[in-house]
Amino acid sequence: MADKYGTTQDPYTYENSTVLVNKLNINNEEVLEAAERDLTTRI
């Protein structure tokens, strides 16, 4: 995804994606959402 100026790749997202780089190394938005949900709802 381009940076806010539309000129270069945003260094905080995976290449050609809008997903932020994360410690789980998940670059699929739906999979990351499910993982975040599972991790934050555990007791």
Q: Could you read off the pLDDT of 1-43 as tens digits, one per residue?
A: 666 677 688 889 999 888 999 999 999 999 999 999 999 997 6
> Where in the sequence is the domain holding 35, given as residue range(s)?
1-43
How confident is the model at residue 1, as a pLDDT?
64
How confident is the model at residue 13, as a pLDDT?
92
Count: domains in the chain: 1
How confident is the model at residue 3, as a pLDDT?
62
Give exposure, 20-41, as e/b (b: 16+ Cβ within 10 Å). eeeeeebbeeeebeeeeeeeee
Nearest to 18, CA basis, from 7, 30, 34: 30
